[in-house]
Chain A
Amino acid sequence: QKEVEQNSGPLSVPEGAIASLNCTYSDRGSQSFFWYRQYSGKSPELIMFIYSNGDKEDGRFTAQLNKASQYVSLLIRDSQPSDSATYLCAVTGQETSGSARQLTFGSGTQLTVLP
């Protein structure tokens, strides 16, 4: 059973600070990693995806992947109150397996950015 673990939070940061969200996964063969943002009562929306070790930056968001440690993180710079949401980490299976296109989700980290 593949597992994706996230700290449930809540995580509170002041406006303008860096928010750091972490995720670990159990399947060493996992290939693709996604971060979704979910506002209360809404559907998940894609924030970032990363496939290769290292950092990937998109605006205020940076995804970091370390496959050796089975760890993926999301950094949000200059956090805004509008970033307050639950952030879901999702992981696919191995490329050659039947689960390559199935996402396993963590339970999410609730982030609150304080004005």
Chain B
Amino acid sequence: NAGVTQTPKFRILKIGQSMTLQCTQDMNHNYMYWYRQDPGMGLKLIYYSVGAGITDKGEVPNGYNVSRSTTEDFPLRLELAAPSQTSVYFCASSSARRSNQPQHFGDGTRLSIL
């Protein structure tokens, strides 16, 4: 019963480095999302995807890139990491049947940029 799986769970990067946060889901959900959560704040949408090959920007997309080559995987790429990207990143997925389907979240990746 894996659901949404994110790797790695923790990572420390130096300023200017790049990395990819991995997200995979086994529920055959069309919709996938990337959020960031800063301390004491709610979640802010970075990017989302409505299906393989289709992605779109959310509220805070600057400094990030995504791709969606399969239904299962939705990686998030950080290029030229900056201290402002220190956050907890959550990946989520939902069914496409109706817009009122709840989103299911992975356990998160805690990222520090030093």
Contacts and interface: CB of A to CB of B under 8 A. Distances in A.
A108 to B, nearest CB: 6
B106 interface: yes
A92 B99 contact: yes
Contacts of A8: 40
Nearest to B107: A43
B100 A107 contact: no
A8 B42 CA distance: 10
B31 A101 contact: yes
A98 to B, nearest CB: 8
Contacts of B103: 34, 46, 103
Q: How many A residues touch the partner, as a band?
A: 20 to 34
A47 B42 CA distance: 16
Given A4-B42, A105-B44, A107-B41, A43 B100 contact: no
Contacts of B19: none
B107 A106 contact: no
B48 A45 contact: no
A49 B100 contact: yes
A42 interface: yes
7 contacts: A31-B100, A32-B99, A32-B100, A42-B107, A51-B100, A88-B43, A105-B43
Interface of B: 31, 33, 35, 40-45, 48, 50, 56, 58, 90, 94, 96, 99-108
